[in-house]
Every structure is written in structure tokens, then in C-alpha cells.
């Protein structure tokens, strides 16, 4: 038994080392990703339920590495955050997303908005507001066409500081969305204090609205509360017609998910805009 324990410990250490090495390699590769042009954005359409039209898109970051292949954002964004690389990457995402949205506008699709995910690291950067102002100026995108997505945990981390940043962004004409709403350990009481425009109901709810009565009850309550607070609602991860039906009955404003479209390359998104409504 003693020998077994030793082996086990050794195996455990090796597994740990492997993970550390893998992580360090990923970190090294990520440092080169930006300069090597391995990062790109995809866009996932957001469809207005009332009109069945595309009214915006969420920009989602992609990393295509020559050897590792497609590295999912859930794997590399935490590393980018911990190392601070997200500062530079996040700025690149913002600039790229705004430049694309400007193209939609120039092509005649007026009023199509782009939603950009902000990490906690970016949100706490004292230069964020100035950087965004500069990017809007450079790209010529009207601020009203930029929406920023932040999560609850980022906001409640330091509420006073978050409120200051949010108000500064709001005053510039940018809209704010609370992402992954319903996950995490947040309390509802701070919701009324936040200058947000939109609640994005997390995929974990939407996935079960048509099959689980408890999830259905919670989602209905969130939609009612959002309306009473004057907030727009977006349902994330909509995959099924039964989910669409549920959301339509409860007047959810926008839907986003594989049912309409997966995240797609910019050129393809432009094509979808051309056939808007018929996706």
C-alpha cells in the first residue's frame, strides 16, 4: 500500500507539472498571438423578437494557433487576464469590433450595434474610458452603436468604482449590458443602482425554460422584473423553437443563439445583414 501511495503521489505531481507546462506554453504562445495575427473576431447576430430582424451582434474572440488549432476563449482569456495581456488584447478587440460596426453602418445597415465583452481587468483599468473614447473617434463609430457587456461579479467587486466607470461610459452614449445574468452569487438589491440598459439572461436558464418548470418560473420572474426596471432583455444560447415560443410569450426583447446563427466571420455576418430577417 505504501508503494501504491508513492506512485499515486508521483503520478499526481507529474500531472500537475504537465498542467503547469501546458499552461506556460499557452502563455508563451498567447504573447505571440496578437503580433502573428492569430486572433480574430466572430459575430453572433442578435435578433429582435418583435420584428425578426438582426439589430446587433456580439463580438466573440477567436484564437487560431498554427499547431494548437482553435483555442477556446474559456481557456485563454483567464490566462490573458492573470498575466495582464488582456489589456492589449481587449483594446485590439474593441478597435476591431468598432471598425467592423462602422462598416455595417457604411454599407447602409443603419443602427446595427456591436456588443463587446469587457473583462474585469479591463473594467478596472483607469484608462478604459479614455481608450474607448479614442477608439470611437478613430473608427468613427457613433457611441450609441457600441454596447459593453460586463458580468455581475466584476461590478460587485468594487461597487463604487464600478458605478463611476459605468456612469462615465453611459454619459458618452455607450450602452451597458449585464452579462450571464442569474449566475454567480449576486444579490438583486444592487440592480436598481446600476446604470445598465440590458440584462442578458444566461444560457444555463434558457437551455431549460421549456423542460423545467422551476427554471421557467425563474426566467419569467427575471423577464418581468427587467421590464418593471425599464431594462431590455436578451436571451443567450437559444437553440430550440420551444425556447423561442416561451420567450416570445414573455416579451423577451432580443434573442441570440444557435437557433438563429452560430458566431460567424465578419464577411458572413455582412451577408446575413443583406438578407436580414431571413436567417
Residue ranges in contact with ligand C2E by CB under 6 A: 44, 60-61, 72-74, 77, 93, 117, 119, 179-180, 203, 236-239, 257-258, 263
When CB distances are held under 5 to 8 angstroms depending on the partner's kind, the choice from Ca ion, ligand C2E, none that residue 38 binds is none
How near is the Cβ of 108 to ligand C2E at its closest, in Å? 26
Rank residues 29 and 113 by Cβ distance to Ca ion and give the closer one. Answer: 113
Angstrom CA distances, 77 to 132, 159, 193, stand at 20, 23, 29
CB count, 10 Å around CB of 54?
A: 24
Of all residues in this chain, which one has the CB nearest to ligand C2E in the complex?
A: 257
Buried b or exposed e, range 101-124, using 16+ CB within 10 angstroms: bbebbeeebeebbbbbbbbbbbbe
Rank residues 29 and 80 by Cβ distance to Ca ion and give the closer one. Answer: 80
| Cα 128 from Cα 186, distance rounded (Å) | 24
When CB distances are held under 5 to 8 angstroms depending on the partner's kind, the choice from ligand C2E, Ca ion, none that residue 257 binds is ligand C2E
Q: Does 147 bind Ca ion (CB under 5 A)?
A: no
Which H helix or E strand runs over 83?
A: helix 73-83
Which H helix or E strand runs over 41?
A: strand 39-48
How near is the Cβ of 180 to ligand C2E at its closest, in Å? 6
Site residues (CB under 5 A) for Ca ion, limited to 209-248: 236
CB count, 10 Å around CB of 1?
A: 5
Q: Count CA within 13 A, CB hemisphere, residue 93.
A: 28
Rank residues 5 and 72 by Cβ distance to ligand C2E and give the closer one. Answer: 72
Which residues have CB under 8 Å from 237's CB, separation 6+? 202, 203, 204, 206, 207, 256, 257, 258
Q: Does 117 bind Ca ion (CB under 5 A)?
A: yes
When CB distances are held under 5 to 8 angstroms depending on the partner's kind, the choice from Ca ion, ligand C2E, none that residue 253 binds is none
How near is the Cβ of 247 to Ca ion at its closest, in Å? 16
How near is the Cβ of 179 to Ca ion at its closest, in Å? 4
Residues that bind Ca ion (CB under 5 A): 117, 149, 179-180, 236
Amino acid at each position: 500500500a505504501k508503494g501504491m501511495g508513492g506512485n499515486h503521489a508521483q503520478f499526481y505531481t507529474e500531472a500537475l507539472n504537465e498542467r503547469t507546462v501546458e499552461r506556460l506554453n499557452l502563455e508563451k504562445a498567447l504573447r505571440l498571438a496578437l503580433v502573428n495575427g492569430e486572433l480574430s473576431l466572430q459575430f453572433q447576430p442578435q435578433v429582435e423578437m418583435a420584428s425578426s430582424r438582426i439589430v446587433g451582434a456580439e463580438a466573440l474572440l477567436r484564437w487560431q494557433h498554427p499547431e494548437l488549432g482553435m483555442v477556446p476563449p474559456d481557456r485563454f482569456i483567464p490566462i490573458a487576464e492573470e498575466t495582464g495581456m488582456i489589456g492589449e488584447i481587449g483594446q485590439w478587440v474593441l478597435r476591431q469590433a468598432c471598425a467592423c460596426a462602422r462598416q455595417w453602418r457604411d454599407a447602409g445597415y443603419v443602427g446595427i450595434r456591436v456588443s463587446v465583452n469587457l473583462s474585469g481587468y479591463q473594467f478596472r483599468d483607469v484608462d478604459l474610458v479614455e481608450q474607448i473614447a479614442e477608439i470611437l473617434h478613430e473608427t468613427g463609430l457613433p457611441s450609441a452603436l457600441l454596447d459593453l457587456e460586463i458580468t455581475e461579479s466584476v461590478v460587485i467587486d468594487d461597487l463604487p468604482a464600478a458605478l463611476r466607470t459605468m456612469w462615465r461610459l453611459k454619459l458618452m452614449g455607450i450602452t451597458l449590458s449585464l452579462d450571464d445574468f442569474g449566475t454567480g452569487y449576486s444579490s438583486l438589491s444592487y440592480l436598481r443602482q446600476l446604470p445598465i440598459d440590458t440584462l442578458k439572461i444566461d444560457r444555463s436558464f434558457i437551455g431549460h425554460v421549456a423542460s423545467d418548470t422551476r427554471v421557467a418560473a425563474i426566467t419569467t420572474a427575471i423577464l418581468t422584473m427587467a421590464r418593471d426596471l425599464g431594462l431590455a432583455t436578451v436571451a443567450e444560447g437559444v437553440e430550440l423553437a420551444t425556447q423561442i415560443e416561451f420567450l416570445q410569450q414573455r416579451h423577451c426583447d432580443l434573442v441570440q443563439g444557435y437557433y438563429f446563427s452560430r458566431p460567424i466571420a465578419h464577411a458572413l455576418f455582412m451577408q446575413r445583414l443583406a438578407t436580414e430577417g431571413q436567417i
